Protein backbone atom coordinates (compact mmCIF):
# COMPACT_ATOMS: atom_id res chain seq x y z
CA UNK A 1 0.00 0.00 0.00
CA UNK A 2 2.77 2.30 1.06
CA UNK A 3 4.80 1.43 -2.09
CA UNK A 4 1.76 1.99 -4.31
CA UNK A 5 1.25 5.43 -2.77
CA UNK A 6 4.91 6.28 -3.43
CA UNK A 7 4.65 5.11 -7.07
CA UNK A 8 1.49 7.21 -7.57
CA UNK A 9 3.19 10.31 -6.12
CA UNK A 10 6.28 9.81 -8.29
CA UNK A 11 4.13 9.32 -11.36
CA UNK A 12 2.14 12.49 -10.59
CA UNK A 13 5.37 14.44 -10.21
CA UNK A 14 6.63 12.99 -13.47
CA UNK A 15 3.43 13.82 -15.36
CA UNK A 16 3.38 17.35 -13.92
CA UNK A 17 7.02 17.77 -14.96
CA UNK A 18 6.26 16.40 -18.43
CA UNK A 19 3.20 18.64 -18.79
CA UNK A 20 5.31 21.64 -17.80
CA UNK A 21 7.99 20.62 -20.28
CA UNK A 22 5.34 20.27 -23.05
CA UNK A 23 3.92 23.69 -22.17
CA UNK A 24 7.41 25.15 -22.30
CA UNK A 25 7.96 23.49 -25.66
CA UNK A 26 4.71 24.98 -26.97
CA UNK A 27 5.78 28.41 -25.79
CA UNK A 28 9.20 27.94 -27.33
CA UNK A 29 7.62 26.77 -30.60
CA UNK A 30 5.61 30.00 -30.65
CA UNK A 31 8.94 31.82 -30.50
CA UNK A 32 10.36 29.76 -33.38
CA UNK A 33 12.25 27.10 -31.38
CA UNK A 34 11.61 23.60 -32.74
CA UNK A 35 12.57 20.76 -30.42
CA UNK A 36 15.35 18.47 -31.58
CA UNK A 37 15.95 14.79 -30.99
CA UNK A 38 18.71 15.86 -28.57
CA UNK A 39 17.22 16.75 -25.16
CA UNK A 40 17.07 20.46 -24.34
CA UNK A 41 18.27 21.51 -27.80
CA UNK A 42 16.26 23.46 -30.35
CA UNK A 43 16.50 24.61 -33.94
CA UNK A 44 15.79 28.33 -33.98
CA UNK A 45 13.62 29.09 -37.02
CA UNK A 46 13.88 32.64 -38.32
CA UNK A 47 11.54 34.62 -40.48
CA UNK A 48 12.67 35.07 -44.08
CA UNK A 49 10.28 35.67 -46.97
CA UNK A 50 10.87 35.14 -50.68
CA UNK A 51 14.42 33.82 -50.29
CA UNK A 52 15.88 37.34 -50.28
CA UNK A 53 17.85 38.32 -47.19
CA UNK A 54 20.26 41.21 -46.72
CA UNK A 55 23.94 40.92 -45.93
CA UNK A 56 23.15 42.41 -42.47
CA UNK A 57 20.63 39.60 -41.91
CA UNK A 58 23.26 37.04 -42.90
CA UNK A 59 25.90 38.56 -40.61
CA UNK A 60 23.50 38.57 -37.65
CA UNK A 61 22.54 34.95 -38.34
CA UNK A 62 26.19 33.92 -38.71
CA UNK A 63 27.10 35.55 -35.39
CA UNK A 64 24.14 33.89 -33.67
CA UNK A 65 25.04 30.50 -35.13
CA UNK A 66 28.55 30.86 -33.72
CA UNK A 67 27.36 32.10 -30.34
CA UNK A 68 24.30 29.94 -29.69
CA UNK A 69 24.52 27.07 -32.17
CA UNK A 70 27.28 24.98 -33.66
CA UNK A 71 28.53 27.49 -36.19
CA UNK A 72 26.31 26.43 -39.06
CA UNK A 73 22.89 27.30 -40.48
CA UNK A 74 20.30 25.04 -42.08
CA UNK A 75 18.52 26.46 -45.14
CA UNK A 76 15.09 24.84 -45.27
CA UNK A 77 13.19 23.56 -48.29
CA UNK A 78 11.02 26.70 -48.11
CA UNK A 79 13.81 29.28 -48.28
CA UNK A 80 13.81 29.50 -44.50
CA UNK A 81 16.73 29.83 -42.09
CA UNK A 82 17.24 27.71 -38.99
CA UNK A 83 20.03 27.69 -36.43
CA UNK A 84 20.18 24.18 -34.91
CA UNK A 85 21.56 23.19 -31.49
CA UNK A 86 20.48 26.21 -29.46
CA UNK A 87 20.44 25.04 -25.83
CA UNK A 88 17.31 25.60 -23.76
CA UNK A 89 19.26 27.92 -21.45
CA UNK A 90 20.22 30.14 -24.41
CA UNK A 91 16.82 30.39 -26.10
CA UNK A 92 15.81 33.66 -24.47
CA UNK A 93 19.11 35.38 -25.19
CA UNK A 94 19.18 34.04 -28.76
CA UNK A 95 15.64 35.25 -29.37
CA UNK A 96 16.43 38.73 -28.01
CA UNK A 97 19.62 38.95 -30.07
CA UNK A 98 17.75 38.18 -33.27
CA UNK A 99 14.91 40.56 -32.46
CA UNK A 100 17.40 43.36 -31.79
CA UNK A 101 18.78 42.68 -35.31
CA UNK A 102 15.24 43.03 -36.68
CA UNK A 103 14.81 39.31 -37.31
CA UNK A 104 11.66 37.73 -35.96
CA UNK A 105 10.84 34.05 -35.45
CA UNK A 106 9.65 31.81 -38.27
CA UNK A 107 6.19 30.24 -38.23
CA UNK A 108 5.31 26.64 -37.49
CA UNK A 109 2.18 24.78 -36.37
CA UNK A 110 -1.27 26.13 -37.26
CA UNK A 111 -0.13 29.29 -38.96
CA UNK A 112 0.37 30.75 -42.41
CA UNK A 113 4.00 30.15 -43.32
CA UNK A 114 6.46 32.65 -44.76
CA UNK A 115 5.76 33.19 -48.47
CA UNK A 116 8.27 31.67 -50.89
CA UNK A 117 9.09 33.31 -54.23
CA UNK A 118 11.53 33.24 -57.11
CA UNK A 119 13.40 36.34 -58.28
CA UNK A 120 10.78 37.06 -60.94
CA UNK A 121 11.16 39.87 -63.45
CA UNK A 122 13.55 41.88 -61.26
CA UNK A 123 16.34 39.41 -62.06
CA UNK A 124 15.30 36.37 -64.08
CA UNK A 125 15.20 36.80 -67.87
CA UNK A 126 12.07 34.67 -68.04
CA UNK A 127 10.22 36.47 -65.27
CA UNK A 128 6.79 37.86 -66.19
CA UNK A 129 5.76 39.33 -62.84
CA UNK A 130 7.39 41.06 -59.86
CA UNK A 131 7.36 38.06 -57.52
CA UNK A 132 9.24 39.79 -54.74
CA UNK A 133 6.80 42.70 -54.55
CA UNK A 134 3.84 40.32 -54.37
CA UNK A 135 5.64 38.14 -51.85
CA UNK A 136 6.43 41.10 -49.58
CA UNK A 137 2.83 42.35 -49.66
CA UNK A 138 1.30 38.93 -48.95
CA UNK A 139 3.81 38.17 -46.22
CA UNK A 140 3.09 41.51 -44.56
CA UNK A 141 -0.64 40.78 -44.59
CA UNK A 142 -0.72 37.12 -43.62
CA UNK A 143 2.57 35.83 -42.17
CA UNK A 144 1.92 33.76 -39.03
CA UNK A 145 -1.85 34.38 -39.12
CA UNK A 146 -3.79 31.54 -37.46
CA UNK A 147 -5.36 28.86 -39.69
CA UNK A 148 -6.90 25.42 -38.98
CA UNK A 149 -3.73 23.53 -39.86
CA UNK A 150 -0.97 24.89 -42.08
CA UNK A 151 -1.13 27.11 -45.13
CA UNK A 152 1.66 27.63 -47.63
CA UNK A 153 1.86 30.30 -50.32
CA UNK A 154 4.27 30.47 -53.25
CA UNK A 155 4.86 33.01 -56.03
CA UNK A 156 6.65 32.02 -59.22
CA UNK A 157 7.53 34.26 -62.14
CA UNK A 158 6.56 32.12 -65.14
CA UNK A 159 5.18 28.70 -66.11
CA UNK A 160 8.61 27.10 -65.49
CA UNK A 161 7.31 27.15 -61.90
CA UNK A 162 10.71 26.98 -60.20
CA UNK A 163 8.89 27.65 -56.91
CA UNK A 164 6.52 24.71 -57.51
CA UNK A 165 3.34 26.67 -56.98
CA UNK A 166 1.27 23.56 -57.69
CA UNK A 167 2.60 22.07 -54.41
CA UNK A 168 1.28 24.93 -52.28
CA UNK A 169 -2.08 25.65 -50.70
CA UNK A 170 -2.14 28.86 -52.72
CA UNK A 171 0.14 29.31 -55.73
CA UNK A 172 0.56 32.39 -57.90
CA UNK A 173 2.26 32.14 -61.29
CA UNK A 174 3.07 34.77 -63.92
CA UNK A 175 1.76 34.20 -67.46
CA UNK A 176 1.85 35.96 -70.83
CA UNK A 177 -0.36 34.71 -73.63
CA UNK A 178 0.50 35.50 -77.28
CA UNK A 179 -1.58 36.45 -80.29
CA UNK A 180 -0.26 36.09 -83.84
CA UNK A 181 -0.41 39.14 -86.17
CA UNK A 182 -0.02 37.54 -89.57
CA UNK A 183 0.54 40.65 -91.67
CA UNK A 184 3.76 41.50 -89.77
CA UNK A 185 5.30 38.03 -89.98
CA UNK A 186 8.38 37.42 -92.15
CA UNK A 187 8.56 33.67 -91.30
CA UNK A 188 11.98 33.98 -89.64
CA UNK A 189 11.17 31.05 -87.30
CA UNK A 190 12.58 32.76 -84.17
CA UNK A 191 9.33 32.20 -82.29
CA UNK A 192 9.26 28.54 -83.30
CA UNK A 193 12.80 28.08 -81.93
CA UNK A 194 11.93 29.91 -78.71
CA UNK A 195 8.87 27.79 -77.94
CA UNK A 196 9.92 24.87 -75.73
CA UNK A 197 6.59 23.05 -75.91
CA UNK A 198 6.28 23.00 -79.73
CA UNK A 199 3.15 25.12 -79.73
CA UNK A 200 4.36 26.97 -82.85
CA UNK A 201 4.87 25.25 -86.19
CA UNK A 202 5.80 26.88 -89.48
CA UNK A 203 4.90 24.70 -92.44
CA UNK A 204 4.36 25.46 -96.13
CA UNK A 205 4.72 29.19 -95.54
CA UNK A 206 2.12 29.33 -92.76
CA UNK A 207 2.51 29.74 -89.01
CA UNK A 208 0.32 27.63 -86.70
CA UNK A 209 -0.07 28.61 -83.03
CA UNK A 210 -1.60 25.78 -80.99
CA UNK A 211 -3.17 27.35 -77.90
CA UNK A 212 -3.91 23.89 -76.45
CA UNK A 213 -0.16 23.29 -76.20
CA UNK A 214 0.78 26.88 -75.29
CA UNK A 215 1.68 27.32 -71.59
CA UNK A 216 1.73 31.14 -71.84
CA UNK A 217 5.41 31.61 -71.08
CA UNK A 218 5.67 34.63 -73.41
CA UNK A 219 9.01 33.56 -74.90
CA UNK A 220 7.80 33.77 -78.51
CA UNK A 221 6.73 37.37 -77.90
CA UNK A 222 10.24 38.31 -76.76
CA UNK A 223 11.80 36.39 -79.65
CA UNK A 224 9.82 38.11 -82.39
CA UNK A 225 11.48 41.30 -83.64
CA UNK A 226 8.76 42.11 -86.14
CA UNK A 227 5.87 42.70 -83.75
CA UNK A 228 4.09 39.71 -85.24
CA UNK A 229 3.76 37.88 -81.92
CA UNK A 230 2.11 40.22 -79.45
CA UNK A 231 0.83 40.05 -75.89
CA UNK A 232 -2.84 39.10 -75.81
CA UNK A 233 -3.08 38.84 -72.02
CA UNK A 234 -0.59 39.03 -69.16
CA UNK A 235 -0.95 38.61 -65.40
CA UNK A 236 -1.39 35.93 -62.80
CA UNK A 237 -2.58 32.32 -62.75
CA UNK A 238 -3.85 30.95 -59.42
CA UNK A 239 -3.49 27.37 -58.15
CA UNK A 240 -5.16 26.10 -54.98
CA UNK A 241 -5.04 23.06 -52.75
CA UNK A 242 -1.56 21.75 -53.50
CA UNK A 243 0.56 19.96 -50.91
CA UNK A 244 3.33 17.41 -50.59
CA UNK A 245 4.15 15.16 -47.63
CA UNK A 246 2.57 11.79 -46.86
CA UNK A 247 -0.48 12.39 -49.04
CA UNK A 248 0.67 14.65 -51.88
CA UNK A 249 -1.87 16.50 -53.99
CA UNK A 250 -1.27 18.69 -57.04
CA UNK A 251 -2.96 22.08 -56.85
CA UNK A 252 -5.97 22.82 -59.05
CA UNK A 253 -5.79 25.71 -61.48
CA UNK A 254 -8.49 28.01 -60.10
CA UNK A 255 -8.09 30.96 -62.48
CA UNK A 256 -5.90 31.00 -65.59
CA UNK A 257 -5.87 34.78 -65.90
CA UNK A 258 -6.36 37.51 -63.34
CA UNK A 259 -4.81 40.78 -62.20
CA UNK A 260 -3.02 41.63 -58.98
CA UNK A 261 -6.12 42.99 -57.19
CA UNK A 262 -8.00 39.78 -57.96
CA UNK A 263 -5.12 37.73 -56.54
CA UNK A 264 -5.45 39.53 -53.19
CA UNK A 265 -9.27 39.28 -53.15
CA UNK A 266 -9.23 35.57 -53.92
CA UNK A 267 -6.46 34.89 -51.41
CA UNK A 268 -8.44 36.63 -48.64
CA UNK A 269 -11.59 34.67 -49.50
CA UNK A 270 -9.63 31.41 -49.76
CA UNK A 271 -8.15 31.83 -46.29
CA UNK A 272 -11.62 32.64 -44.87
CA UNK A 273 -13.11 29.61 -46.64
CA UNK A 274 -10.39 27.41 -45.19
CA UNK A 275 -10.96 28.78 -41.68
CA UNK A 276 -14.72 28.26 -41.92
CA UNK A 277 -14.78 24.82 -43.52
CA UNK A 278 -11.72 22.81 -42.44
CA UNK A 279 -12.09 19.83 -40.15
CA UNK A 280 -9.35 18.86 -37.69
CA UNK A 281 -6.03 18.37 -39.46
CA UNK A 282 -7.29 19.20 -42.96
CA UNK A 283 -5.22 21.14 -45.47
CA UNK A 284 -7.01 23.28 -48.04
CA UNK A 285 -6.72 20.51 -50.66
CA UNK A 286 -8.55 18.09 -48.34
CA UNK A 287 -11.34 20.64 -47.85
CA UNK A 288 -11.62 21.13 -51.63
CA UNK A 289 -11.81 17.35 -52.15
CA UNK A 290 -14.54 17.02 -49.52
CA UNK A 291 -16.61 20.09 -50.47
CA UNK A 292 -15.93 20.05 -54.22
CA UNK A 293 -13.85 22.37 -56.38
CA UNK A 294 -16.94 23.95 -57.95
CA UNK A 295 -18.43 24.87 -54.59
CA UNK A 296 -15.09 26.25 -53.41
CA UNK A 297 -14.60 28.16 -56.68
CA UNK A 298 -18.08 29.73 -56.52
CA UNK A 299 -17.37 31.04 -53.03
CA UNK A 300 -13.92 32.48 -53.58
CA UNK A 301 -14.03 33.81 -57.17
Residues within the interface to ligand SF4 (CB under 6 A): 118-120, 124, 126-127, 156-158, 160-162, 178, 185-191, 194-195, 197, 199-200, 207, 209, 214-220, 223-224, 226, 228-229
CA–CA separation, 218 and 21 (whole Å): 55
Q: Which is nearer to ligand SF4, 108 or 119 (CB)?
A: 119
Q: Which is nearer to ligand SF4, 82 or 130 (CB)?
A: 130
| DSSP line for 109-160 | SSBBPPPEE--GGGT-TT--S-HHHHHHHHHHHHTT-B-SS-B-EEEESSTT
Q: Nearest distance from residue 188's CB to ligand SF4, in Å?
A: 4
Q: Nearest distance from residue 139's CB to ligand SF4, in Å?
A: 17
| Long-range Cβ contacts of 96-101 (<8 Å, 24+ apart) | 97/60, 97/63, 97/64, 97/67, 97/68, 98/44, 98/46, 98/60, 98/61, 98/64, 101/56, 101/57, 101/60
Q: Nearest distance from residue 251's CB to ligand SF4, in Å?
A: 15
Q: Which is nearer to ligand SF4, 5 or 77 (CB)?
A: 77
CA–CA separation, 283 and 170 (whole Å): 11
Q: Which residue is nearest to ligand SF4 (CB)?
A: 157
Q: Nearest distance from residue 153's CB to ligand SF4, in Å?
A: 15
Q: Which is nearer to ligand SF4, 205 or 247 (CB)?
A: 205
Q: Which is nearer to ligand SF4, 180 or 264 (CB)?
A: 180
Q: Which is nearer to ligand SF4, 187 or 293 (CB)?
A: 187
Q: Nearest distance from residue 293's CB to ligand SF4, in Å?
A: 25
Angle of helix 55-68 relative to helix 91-100, nearest 10 degrees, comes to 160
| Long-range Cβ contacts of 182-191 (<8 Å, 24+ apart) | 182/207, 182/228, 183/228, 184/226, 184/227, 184/228, 185/226, 185/228, 186/226, 186/228, 188/225, 188/226, 190/223, 190/224, 190/225, 191/220, 191/223, 191/224, 191/228, 191/229
Q: Which is nearer to ligand SF4, 215 or 284 (CB)?
A: 215
CA–CA separation, 135 and 78 (whole Å): 13
Q: Nearest distance from residue 217's CB to ligand SF4, in Å?
A: 4
Q: Nearest distance from residue 127's CB to ligand SF4, in Å?
A: 4
Amino acid sequence: MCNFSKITTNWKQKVTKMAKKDTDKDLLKEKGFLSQRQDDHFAMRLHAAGGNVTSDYLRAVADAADKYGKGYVHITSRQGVEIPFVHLDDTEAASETMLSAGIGPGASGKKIRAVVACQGDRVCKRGLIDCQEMCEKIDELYFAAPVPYKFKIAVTGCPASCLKVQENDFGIMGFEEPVFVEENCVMCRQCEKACEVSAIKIEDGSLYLDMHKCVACGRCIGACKKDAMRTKDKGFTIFVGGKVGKRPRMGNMLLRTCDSDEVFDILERTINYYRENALEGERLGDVIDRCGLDSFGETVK
